[in-house]
Amino acid sequence: MNNVDKPRILVVDENEANRLLLCQLLKEYNVVEADCTEAALNKVDSEKPDLMLLDVMVPEEDGYSLVSTIKSARKTQPIPVILITPLHGIDEKIKCLENGADDFITKPLNPLELAARVKSLLRIKSLHDQLENFHNIVISLALALEAKDDYSVNHSKRTAEYAYRLARRVVPDDPEVELIKFAGLLHDIGKIGIRDEILAKPGKLTLEEYEIIKNHPVLSEKICSSISSLAPCLPFIRSHHESYVGKGYPDGLQGDEIPLGGRILAIADAFDALTSDRPYRKALSRQVALDILRKHAGVQWDPLLVQQFCEIIESEDVYEYIAI
């Protein structure tokens, strides 16, 4: 790994000898130094460190105030901060954490402990950066769809929210909940590749046009597959038009062969389509849409998920909130 790729650590300490020691202990990283609060804030702005090591006795204002400043600004809040303190008492440790520090280490420094804490927080920062990049990609793709078709992007936003509510009820502690929401935002991105006159056609589609429409889950998957961070969402995106008895598309999957995220998206997608104005019909009422879901549960959609979804819509204010 060259210097440019190495994580950047900002060391803040008024004592030059202490800074030199930390630079030596952290020589595998890019280390930037500051000897006071003003210099530290300038370095945060110019160097954009991946982690800060901050002595509580930093001049001008104590380390607690500086870490509070760092953590109160949206731009710098994600930067992990380790406070270095000479005190070992529990009150001191609590004070470090209450002021926003992500971790603390006491003097005299133990090189192995320092290395372990730094490595752990840098890993967390890296995961945060990946997630932020993931969010930006999703937003960019959604904006691309919005530029083509206002209905599609609003439909995708509502579908994502309905799917998120259902996933949160069915598997509340599963990481897939967030992935299902992202898949909901992107499930129709393939419609970018479909002609406007087909998407907005007010009458019945021809067989050829219907086959083109049926290909949009595959197109959506293809567009998203070029972005490695979206890989976990691909099975959900591809399968959101599969049928519970195996008569859907593109793969004719049935029952549990369909990924959970795909089964959830299928219900959310259908409900929003039913309750929205389309080129060929006016929106149906919430109750009529729920009746249709129940009627076709076990044939078109997973019956247990339909039951859960209907309970959510009927017992929560989610419909009024999302439909706005």
| Burial readout 30-62 (b: 16 or more C-beta within 10 A, e: otherwise) | bbbbbbbbebbbebbeeeebbbbbbbbebeeeb
Q: Which residues are catalytic?
A: 191
> Does the model's pTM come out above 0.75?
no
Average pLDDT, the chain: 87
Is it the case that residue 134 has pLDDT exceeding 80?
Answer: no
CA–CA separation, 305 and 218 (whole Å): 24
pLDDT at 217: 96
Q: What residues form DSSP beta bridges with 82?
A: 53, 103
pLDDT at 3: 63
pLDDT at 136: 79
Please report where in the chains the tokens 């998957």 appear, as a residue. Answer: 221
Angle CA(170)–CA(179)–CA(160) in degrees, nearest 5? 75
The pLDDT tens digits for 203-234 are 889 999 999 999 999 999 998 887 887 899 99
pLDDT at 63: 76
Letter for the amino acid at 195? R
Locate 96 and state its tokens.
């470090």
pLDDT at 148: 67
Q: Binning pLDDT at 50, 70 and 90, where does residue 321 land?
A: low
Average pLDDT over residues 266-270: 98
SS (H, E, C) 216-253: HHHHHHHHHHCCHHHHHHHHHHHCCCCCCCCCCCCCCC
| Burial readout 93-120 (b: 16 or more C-beta within 10 A, e: otherwise) | bebbeebbbbbbbbeeeeeeebeebbee
CA–CA separation, 6 and 10 (whole Å): 13
Least confident segment among 48-57, 106-115, 119-128, 150-159: 150-159
| 136 compared with 149, residue with greater pLDDT | 136
Domains and CATH numbers, the chain: 8-127 (3.40.50.2300), 149-322 (1.10.3210.10)
Average pLDDT over residues 248-273: 97
SS (H, E, C) 72-90: HCCCCCCCCEEEEECCCCH
The pLDDT tens digits for 88-99 are 667 766 777 777
Please report where in the chains the tokens 């419909």 appear, as a residue. Answer: 319
Q: Binning pLDDT at 50, 70 and 90, where does residue 261 land?
A: very high
